[in-house]
Amino acid sequence: METTVGAAGLPAVLDRPSGPVRGGLVVLHGSHAGHRSFFLYEHLARLLPPAGIAVLRYDRRPRVDGHDVPLADQAEDASAAVTELRRHIGPVPVGLWGFSQGAWAAALTATRHPVGFLVLVGCSAVSPAAQMRHGTAEQLRRNGYGPADLAELAEVRRVAEGFQRGDVPRPLAQAAIDAATRRQWFPLAFLPEELPAVPGTWTDMDYDPAPVLARLTCPVLLCHGETDAWIPIEDSLAVWQRAARDAELTVARLAGCDHAPTLGGGEGLDSIAPQYERVLLDWLDRRLPVDGWPGRQSGDRRPASSRPTSRRAS
């Protein structure tokens, strides 16, 4: 079923079970995966409806002048998506699934618009700035760069962040960027060659997830790839365990996966890790009602490719 989300009318699609509905899931986006057709979202729409779970996917609102969508705006849209999903499936439990940046937005949404559960994939519990410092350093390490290069990267990121906070004059920061562009590793630094005219364009760079996590009370499933190049996993888990004391926390480490729940760095439906599917289905199965739904009794745990296809809501 084609529908829309929120006052902005964001294009959306709802995939629902062919029979009774046990629950629903709203999908939130990675920073560079804003379209509802992204393969990780399509995977959910194939996997979950046969298990009695409806899935709502929508397009993230567009960037303005190249700036990322603030997390507060993403949470506003996600709240509207929850309302839209509940309008179609009634009073069954509804949760949020968030990938990468979408995990921050999902947790924030849950503190503003209570939901039944959270599934967070590739989730960072440190600030975006800290996460990018970790992630870009790891890119250099994996590409064979040594301590001197890592030190230069750390310094140019420190100066660029200082400019964004308004602490470093633009000419000084731009000079540091200009020098860094001459390094072979610069494409791995994920910094612009030309800084914006004014600071403050990265609205959420110092966003602190901890106070948000402290307000969560719902069950939470965290899925981390064993070799995630972008997330400081142990630091993030320490924050979760310290802050989210009222949440029921489950952590899954996915063998053979990096940032996405795929094998071999794949970017297609055929690369989804079977372990991720099992973990997700089993965790949801333990938290959603089964009355009136025959799938639990049938014990259907076949891979998504062999499950019956779902129908679109009408």
Tell me whether residue 81 is in a domain. Answer: yes
Q: In this model, does residue 34 exceed pLDDT 60?
A: yes
Reduce the DSSP state of residue 294 to 3 states and report it. Answer: coil
**CB count, 10 Å around CB of 181?**
14
Residue-number span of the structural domain to which 77 is assigned:
2-127+208-308
Least confident of 5-9, 123-127, 154-158, 270-274: 5-9
Q: What is the CATH number of the domain that holds 298?
A: 3.40.50.1820
How many Å apart are CA 210 and CA 245, to the nearest integer? 11
pLDDT tens, position by position, 251-269: 999 999 999 999 999 999 9
Assess whether 59 and 84 both reside in one domain.
yes
Alpha carbon 55 to chain centroid, angstroms: 16
What pLDDT shows up at residue 109? 97
Same domain, 301 and 217: yes
The crossing angle, in degrees rounded to 10, of helices 274-285 and 39-47 is: 50
Assess if residue 198 is contained within a domain.
no
User: Is 133 found in the same domain as 93?
Assistant: no
| CA pseudo-torsion sign 131, 132, 133, 137 | positive
Q: Is residue 194 part of a domain?
A: no
Q: Residue 8 — very low, low, confident or very high, per pLDDT cuts 50/70/90? A: confident
Dihedral sign (CA 73, 75, 78, 83):
negative
Per-residue pLDDT averaged across 161-175, rounded? 96
In whole angstroms, give the CA distance from residue 214 to residue 241.
10
Give DSSP secondary structure letters for 219-265.
Answer: EEEEEEETT-SS--HHHHHHHHHHH-TTSEEEEEEETTBSSSSBBTT
Q: Do 84 and 20 share a structural domain?
A: yes
User: Is 314 within a domain?
Assistant: no
For the chain, report the end-to-end CA distance as a whole number of angstroms: 6
pLDDT range class, residue 307, cuts 50, 70, 90: very low
Length of the chain: 314
Question: Interhelix angle for 170-180 vs 147-165, to 10°?
Answer: 150
Identify whether residues 161 and 274 lie together within a single domain. no
